[in-house]
């Protein structure tokens, strides 16, 4: 993941990855439990 984030700008990844990642992680946690 570090390599991918380094290739792309921090602002872009932060804005795009923060939204889906937060929603995805919450969904995965709910699905796991």
Give percent above pLDDT 70 in the chain: 0
Give the integer Cα–Cα distance in Å for 30 and 14: 23
**Bigger pLDDT: 6 or 19?**
19
Q: How many degrees, rounded to 5, is the angle at CA 17 between CA 19 and CA 2?
A: 150
Question: pLDDT higher for 2 or 11?
Answer: 11
Calculate mean pLDDT across residues 13-24. Answer: 60
Please tell me the distance from the alpha carbon of residue 27 to that of residue 23, in angstroms, as a whole number: 6
Range of the domain at 22: 2-32
Q: H/E/C letters for each residue in 13-25? A: HHHHHHHHHHHHH
Q: Which two tokens stand for residue 18?
A: 């923060």
User: Which of 18 and 24 is assigned the larger pLDDT?
Assistant: 24
Residue 15 has a pLDDT of 61
How many independent structural domains does the chain possess? 1
């Amino acid at each position: 993941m570090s390599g991918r984030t380094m290739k792309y700008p921090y602002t872009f990844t932060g804005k795009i990855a923060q939204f889906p990642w937060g929603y995805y992680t919450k969904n995965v946690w709910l699905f796991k439990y």
